[in-house]
Amino acid sequence: MLTNIEHIGIAIKEMHASNALYTALLGVPPYKSEGVESENVITSFFKVNQTKIELLQATDDNSAIAKFIEKEGEGIHHIAFETNDLQAELERLTKEGFEVLKGFPKPGADNKMVAFLHPRNTNGVLIELCMEIQH
């Protein structure tokens, strides 16, 4: 079961300028920045109450974020929903006819396991499913 919107991912070209912009907009600095080597991105997270914004900057011209920006420009890249059982949710959604992108689930940013649903099944919106990694 999906429990809530976990974050909104925004593809950006330049982290320093975008961090400054979102700090001014939201009134808070990012609480976390990290690289995700498997996706060739660096991320920066903001949180206002329960709402999280993830900025994503490509570290490689062949990354999904670089290709997205080249095609669409900067902007909303994905909406992430949280779940307590990622595998069960993926099985449920697959039975409902949604297509999980290949190579997922895998570790993502902010201590999460992640998987993505193909946007052709979700009205053109890339949907991320995420679950906190238990230690």
Q: What is the pLDDT of residues 31-68, one digit of tens each?
A: 999 999 989 999 999 999 999 999 999 999 999 999 99
Rounded Cα distance between 68 and 95, Å, is 28
For residue 134, the model assigns a pLDDT of: 86
Which helix H or strand E contains 98, and what residues bound it?
A: none
pLDDT reported for residue 104: 86
Q: What is the largest CA-CA distance in the chain?
A: 43
pLDDT tens, 76-126? 999 999 999 999 999 999 999 999 998 889 999 999 999 999 999 999 999
| pTM (two decimals) | 0.94
C-alpha atoms less than 13 angstroms from C-alpha of 65 in its C-beta half-sphere: 26
What count of other Cβ atoms lies within 10 Å of the Cβ of residue 17? 10
CB 130 within 8 A of CB 113: yes
DSSP strand pairing (2-12 vs 51-58): parallel
Tell me which residue of 75, 69, 4 sits closest to 40, measured CA to CA: 69
